[in-house]
Structure 1
Amino acid sequence: MSEQKTATFSGYEKFIIAVLATLQFTVVLDFMVISPLGYILLDKLSISTTQFGLVVSAYAFSAGAAGLLTAGFADKFDRKKLLIFFYSGFVVGTLFCGIAPTYEFLLAARIFTGLFGGVISSISFAIITDLFPIQVRGRVMGFVQMAFASSQVLGIPIGLYLAKAFSWHAPFLMIVGLSIVVGFLVVTYMKPINAHLKLQTGGNAFKHLGNILARPEYLQGFAATTLLATGGFMLMPFGTAYGVNNLGIKEAQLPTLYMITGICMLVFSPLIGKLSDKIGKYKVFLGGSFVACVMTLIYCNLPVTPLWIIIALNVLLFVGITGRMISASALMTAVPEPQDRGAFMGINSSIQQIAGGIASLIAGFIVTEGVGGRIENYPTLGNVVVVAIIVTALLMYRIHTYVSAKLTASAASPAQKTSV
């Protein structure tokens, strides 16, 4: 595809953006809806908090493992066929969750779902990279990343309503129904995405994977992803407990906090994506990192605070986090060569999943539960997150420099213009 790009997308490109965003919404919602269902599952399945934690983490670790196992094969197939295969497995796994009669069945279903669902994001990002030039990827990523905000605004409240009105199985069955519609659209209207197959040089999948892991520029991308995930996932697991027990938020006010934050992110995500294309992805990343650092230090050191102030601070914190994620995702797509995109994205997604799981464990060692459920050492956790953000900014500068040089070389050589 030519690097010269008009300000508007074609009808087919809009369809691709919309279907990938909706597809991401179903995958993200499947992952996120399990946590709010926690108090219901503890009662209905008669399980402990440790067992519930295993249900949550089992998905993340199986998703990470799947990405690594399939990375070597990711560039050997038409990306549409690959997407259909893994999305079908995700739908089947979610259906198993929706009919799970016991804890053991649910745990196995979550592992199965993670094995397929964990690969979908990397395939989607590879498709975006194949179909859209770097100059507009920020906008595309901004729309696709709206899936996270949408899951907060629409998915989680609807899921909780269905769980209370019917049973805890209902949210998973809702996701299955929506996913079948999305899958039909992909099968029927998405065109084959196989231009990268012409660039394959042969060799087995494991050799291909080894070549990916041997390239220094790819390794520094993986390192940046590790720290990028670490910074975000450290605050998430204890955010609700900290808000209720330290900041004075009432449990009944939590949906309001999440919904307002989600609505704001629905507005800001595409704007951040558009800004990253206009002024530069690394500049937006630095801006997001600065906002995230400042807001993390403020938020993690708050006393009991009125809800409206907490909402304002939380929105600003998520603006910083979202600014980092969108710009970093768009910049990272330009790192791999066309023949390596699927494998690179697969490994990158796996690292993100595994790093997130490890970050949650590390956070658990830093914070402790004090008298009355108060979360202790949260300021220390905030300091660790800030250090991770700063180090990530330094690593992303190296990636920015590499990508800039690559784009300059591509512009000078018309034959290589499709390389990024």
Structure 2
Amino acid sequence: MSKVNNQVFTSYEKFVIFILAITQFTVVLDFMVMAPLGDLLLKSLSMTAQDFGIAVSAYAFSAGASGLLTAGFADKYDRKKLLLFFYIGFIIGTLFCGLANSYITLVLARIFTGLFGGVIGSISMAIITDIFTLQQRGRVMSFVQMGFGASQVLGIPIGLYIANKWFWEAPFFMIVAMSIVIAICIALYLKPVREHLSLQPQKKAMAHLWNTLKNKEYRIGFMSITMLSVGGFMMMPFGTIFAVNNLGVHPDQLPILFMISGVTSLTLMPFIGRLSDRINKFKLFTIATIWLMIVCVVYTNFFHIPFWLVILTNICMMIGIMSRMVPSSALNSAVPETADRGAYMSITSSLQQISGGVAAAIAGLIVYQEHENSPLINYDIVAYVLVVVSIISIILMSRVNKLVKKRYL
């Protein structure tokens, strides 16, 4: 596929962006829906805050393991076939989540889902990097990552509504139905992505993985993504529990909260994507990270505040999250050579998931509740840890920025 550095996307490129965005939407929704269902799950399955942290971490750890296992051969196959294979596995795992009837079966289902779902993001990133130039990727990634916002605008509020109206398993069945349609579209309309195959040296899978891991420049990218993921995952799993039990948000208000936050994300993403392509990506990332640190510390020290203030603070958090996600993804995509791109993205995805699992598990050890309806204690400490981790991530991302400048300028 030719990479023409123009400003207008072709009709097929628009389809690629759309199908990857909607795929991302379902995968992100599957992961994200666990957080808003947190309070309901704790009460329905008699789970503790620590149990819930493990349930969230189970997906992340299995996704991380899967990323490492697939990294060695990720550049040896047509990326379309890889995407379709893992997406079908993700659909089956999500179905198992909906069929789970206990804490143990839910954890096992999350492990299975993570084995497949955790790799999809890295395959999508490799496809984007194969098809689009660095100058286009800020916009492309902003659209693809709109799945993050769309999952809050549409998926999470609808999922919460049907979970409250019927049962907690219903959102997973909703995701399965949507994903089957998307898988059919991928199979029928996405063209093979295999130009990278002609660049591949004849190396065994493990040798390819090892050569990617030991590359000094790649390790800079790996470290930066690891710290970024630790900071990103620490607060998220317990956000709903904190909102309900500490801030006084009624469960029926949660869909409104997530919908407004999601609309903010969708509105911001195209703007942030264009901004990321026009100004220094590292500068945008740094400003957004500092903004997010301040908002998180303030938010976690609130107690029983008006609902409008909860909404406003969540909007401020989404601004920070989106504004650092797009430039960091674009910078990281420029680190690997073409022949190593699939392996690099798989390892990156693996590190993201494992780091997120560690972060969620650590947060689960820090916070606790005296009983299921009592306030969540020590959530502010999680925010202070996030500040330290975020400062480290800025330092590491500056090294990535220097590496990318050296390669492309």
Q: TM-score when scaled to structure 2? A: 0.92
Q: State the Cα distance separating 1:18 from its structure 2 match.
A: 0.4
Q: What residue in structure 1 maps to residue 396 of structure 2?
A: 395
Q: What residue in structure 2 maps to residue 417 of structure 1?
A: none
CA contact (8 A) 1:71 1:346 kept: yes
Q: What residue in structure 1 maps to residue 97 of structure 2?
A: 97
Q: Distance in 2 between matches of 1:242 and 1:344?
A: 36
SS of residue matched to 1:238: helix
Q: What residue in structure 2 maps to residue 256 of structure 1?
A: 256
Residue deviations 1:110-161, cap 9 Å, x none?
2222111111010000001111111111111111111111111211222233
Which amino acid is 1:310 matched to?
A: V
Greater shift, 154-163 or 21-30, is seen at: 154-163
Q: What residue in structure 2 maps to residue 316 of structure 1?
A: 316
Q: What residue in structure 2 maps to residue 414 of structure 1?
A: none
Q: Distance in 2 between matches of 1:103 and 1:306?
A: 34
CA contact (8 A) 1:2 1:133 kept: no
CA contact (8 A) 2:273 2:326 kept: yes
Q: State the Cα distance separating 1:88 from its structure 2 match.
A: 1.4
Q: What residue in structure 1 maps to residue 210 of structure 2?
A: 210
Q: State the Cα distance separating 1:368 from its structure 2 match.
A: 4.6
SS of residue matched to 2:114: helix
Question: Aligned in 2, Cα 1:321/1:51: closer, same or farther, shift over 3 Å?
Answer: closer
Q: Distance in 2 between matches of 1:383 and 1:34?
A: 24
Q: Distance in 2 between matches of 1:370 and 1:15?
A: 50
1:288 matches 2:288: yes
Q: State the Cα distance separating 1:51 from its structure 2 match.
A: 5.1
Residue deviations 1:243-282, cap 9 Å, x none?
3344343443333222211111110112111110111321
Residue deviations 1:298-344, cap 9 Å, x none?
22333543222232222112111111111101110000001111111
CA contact (8 A) 1:138 1:281 kept: no
Q: Distance in 1 between matches of 2:235 and 2:47?
A: 25
Instruction: Map 1:214-293 to 2 at 5 A.
Output: 214-293=214-293
Percent of aligned pairs with the same amino acid: 54
Question: Aligned in 2, Cα 1:83/1:404: closer, same or farther, shift over 3 Å?
Answer: same
Q: What residue in structure 1 maps to residue 150 of structure 2?
A: 150
Q: What residue in structure 2 maps to residue 201 of structure 1?
A: 201
Greater shift, 141-150 or 355-364, is seen at: 355-364
CA contact (8 A) 1:276 1:283 kept: no
Q: Distance in 1 between matches of 2:257 and 2:168?
A: 23
Question: Aligned in 2, Cα 1:380/1:47: closer, same or farther, shift over 3 Å?
Answer: closer
Question: Aligned in 2, Cα 1:42/1:316: closer, same or farther, shift over 3 Å?
Answer: closer
Q: What residue in structure 2 maps to residue 411 of structure 1?
A: none
Which amino acid is 2:359 matched to?
A: A
CA contact (8 A) 2:50 2:365 kept: no
Question: Aligned in 2, Cα 1:293/1:96: closer, same or farther, shift over 3 Å?
Answer: closer
Greater shift, 50-59 or 207-216, is seen at: 50-59
CA contact (8 A) 1:3 1:135 kept: no
Segments of structure 1 that go 5 or more residues without pairing to the other structure are: 409-420
Greater shift, 372-381 or 393-402, is seen at: 372-381
Question: Aligned in 2, Cα 1:240/1:94: closer, same or farther, shift over 3 Å?
Answer: closer
Q: State the Cα distance separating 1:69 from its structure 2 match.
A: 0.9
Segments of structure 2 that go 5 or more residues without pairing to the other structure are: none
Which amino acid is 1:73 matched to?
A: F
Q: State the Cα distance separating 1:369 from its structure 2 match.
A: 4.2
Q: What residue in structure 2 maps to residue 415 of structure 1?
A: none
Which amino acid is 1:22 matched to?
A: I
CA contact (8 A) 2:331 2:401 kept: yes
The CA RMSD over aligned residues, in Å, is: 2.4
Aligned residues: 408
